[in-house]
Structure 1
Amino acid sequence: MSVAALIVAAGRGSRAGEGVPKQFRPLDGKTVLARTLEVFLKPPRIDRTIVVIHPDDEELYREAIHDISGELLTGLLPHAYGGETRQDSVRHGLEALASTAPEIVLIHDAARPFSGADLLDRAIEAGRRWQAAVPGIAVTDTIKVIGEESAVVVTPDRASLRAVQTPQAFGFAALLNAHRKAALSRLNDFTDDGALAEWAGMPVHVFEGEPGNIKLTHAADFDEAERRLKGSPMAYVTRLGTGFDVHAFGDGDHVWLGGIRIPHDRGVIAHSDGDVILHALTDAILGALADGDIGTHFPPSDPQWRGASSDRFLVHAIALVRRRGGLVDHLDTTLLCEKPRLGPHREAMRHRIAEICGLRIDQVSLKATTTEKLGFTGRSEGLAAQAAATIRLPETSP
C-alpha cells in the first residue's frame, strides 16, 4: 500500500514566544521542521511527503529544507498553503495529494521533531489495519473534569485515558471525505484529525505512542530539547560583527526602515527596497560569521534582487548562523538622518526585526541620531545606518 506523510507547518506558534514560528526556529543548529522532515523522508517507509506552510513563510521554508541532505529531498513534494485553522491546513494538504492519492496518509505536527522510526512503523501498520488510528501514551497524572467555579465534576479512571500524539494514520480517501464533509458543514475547529474522524463516524483506534515524541509548545520546551540533543554542554565562542549602509534620497513617498514602510516626502535610490537598517544588520551578522557582505550573497548585478524586500537578506544571514550551530545574542542599530524621525516607529521596527530573526524584543536595540547638519545626512541628501551583531558559534565550527 502506498503511504504519504502530510506535515502541518502553517501555525504561528505564539505560545513559544515572539519571533519566527516555532517550526522554523533553530534546534541545535537545525530548524525544527528540518529535523521533523528528516524522519519522514528517510526511505523506505513513506513514498512521498508534503508540507503545508503559511503563505508568509516561503523564505523560511526554503531555508529550512536547505538543511536537509539532497538525496532525501527526492521524496518531498511541492509544498501546499495552509488555511485559517489547523483543520483547514490539513484539508488543503490532502487536496494537494488527491491527484496522486496514496492509500494511507500520516498526519503529523511539524513541532514534533523526535518521532522515532519505530513509531512510524507502528503508525503505518495501524493505518493499514484500522484505517483510522492515533498514537497515545498512558496518562500518569490524575485528571479532573471541572465545571462552574472550578468545581470538580468527575475524576475519570486514568487507566482508560490516553494522551494523543501524531503521526495519526488514516485511509486517505476516507479522511479526505471526512474533511470535505466538515468543510461543507462549516465545522473547522477540530484540533486533531482523530476527533474529526470520530465526528464523521469513523471508528478510531489508539496504538502505542512514544513518551519522547513531545510537541514543542512553550519556550521551556525548546530549552529541554536543546539539552536532549546536545547530551552535554556545548562550548561557544562569542563574535562581534559590524555593518554600515547608506542610500541617497530620490523621488517617492515612503522609505523602508527596519522592515516597516514609513511615509516620507522622498524615496531612496536603491537596487532593492533600500532598507538601510536591515542592510546594515545583515552585513553585521555576515561580518561576525566572516562570510563576506550583502553584495557577495545578493549581487546588485543580479536582476532577481531588484526591488527585493530586505527581510529576505536578513533571514538568509540568520539562517547561516543557525547552520553553523550558532546563536544570535543581540542586534544593535543606529539610524543616521535628519528625517524621518525614528521615535514614532521605533517599537514597531524592533518587533519586526525580532520577528524576522526569531529573537526576543529585548535582544533588539534601535537608536537614531542626526549629524548636526553635517555631511550628506545633515543636508538631508540621504540616510545611513550602522549596526553591530553579537553571535555565538560552537568552538569546533569551521
Structure 2
Amino acid sequence: MKARLLLEDGTLFTGKSFGAEGDMTGEVVFNTGITGYQEVLSDPSYCGQIVTMTYPLIGNYGIARDDFESIAPSIHGFVVRRYEPTPSNWRAQYNLGDLLKEYNIPGIHDIDTRMLTRIIRQHGTMKGIITTSSKSDQELKGMMAATSIEELRNQVAQTSTKHIYTSPGAKERIVLVDFGAKSGILRELNKRDCDVIVVPHDTTAEEIRRLQPDGIQLSNGPGDPKDVPYAVKMVSELLGEYPIFGICLGHQLFALACGADTQKLKFGHRGGNHPVKELQSGRCYITSQNHGYAVTDSSIAGTKLEVTHINNNDKTIEGLKHTEYPAFSVQYHPEAAPGPYDNNYLFDRFLEMIQEHKRLNPQRSRQAELMAAAKGEL
C-alpha cells in the first residue's frame, strides 16, 4: 500500500506503508541509533512525534516484549529507509509492522531518509503528516494546520501514570515522579533494592512529603519543560529537603526550579551515540539521548548551579549539580545502555548522596523511621 509523508514546508515523500492505515500528524524528528528501534518506539518521550530512523535497515531483529520501555508506544509515526518484515532473531515474537498496526501507528518506508534528515537539520523540526489515504496535498495541509500546537504539547499528562503505585524494596525509599518515565529508571532503582513509590506528574510537594522519601527521582518525559510549571514549583519547594536526581526532562525542571532557563534546540538530540564529557574527570561517555530542549548556558550565571557535563558535539549543557543542596541532574539517559553500562554509576552516586544526607540530618532520618513504624511499614 502506498503511503505519503507531507512536511509543513510542503515537501512530499511518497513510499510504502508498513504500519496502520489512516492519517497521523506529529512533530517530525530523527534518531541516529543503529539499533534500539524498539526502545525508541516505546519511549514515552517520543509522544506526539513522527520518528525518522537515520540507519537504513530497520526491523531486522523484530519485536520482543521484554525490551519495552513503557506499556504502549506513544509515537505518532515511524519513518525508515528499508523495512525488514522477516526478523532474524530467536527472541523475536513478531515483526515491527505488526506492532505498529496493534497500536494504530502509521509507518512509511522506501523513502529517502537521508534527504529528510538533511531538511530537518537545515530547517529544524517541523510538523508533518503520514497518510495512506487518497486525500489531496491541500487537504493534508489543512489537517496539519488544524492540529494545534497545544495538542502536540500536552504530552506529559498523556504519558504519566494516573495513580500512585509501588515497587517494594528493603533499602532507600525513592519517590519517582513520573513525567513519562522509561521502565529502565525503575529497573535501575529496583536493582539497588530501593523501595520505589511512583507518583503522577502533578503530585504536589506536600503530597510527596507525606510519603516520607529518602530521595526524589525526577524522570524523563516528552515536550517543553515550561509546559509543566506546577512541576517546577514542586521541585523548588522540595529542594534542600531531600536529595534530588533529575533525568532528561527532570534535568530541565531542576534547572528551571533553580532559576536557570531552557531553550528549544533546532533539531534536538536523539540517538544512542552522543558523546558527553564529564568535566571533573575529563572522561567522555557515549550516551543515549532523546530531547528537543536544553538548559541555556547563559542562564546558569547568578544561580547556585554548577555545570558537570557538556555535549562534545555542540557544547550544550548535559549535567548540573547544586552547589549547596544534595541535588544533581543529567540531560542524557543513564538507565539506557547503547552498548556499555558506563553511566549506571549515577544511580550509585544518588544513593551515596542520600546516605550522606541522612548522616548530616540524623533527626530527620529518625523521624521518618518512627513514622513508618507507626504506620506498620517497618
The two structures have a TM-score, normalised by structure 1, of 0.24
| Between structures 1 and 2, the one with greater helix share | 1
Structure with greater Cα Rg: 1
The two structures have a TM-score, normalised by structure 2, of 0.25
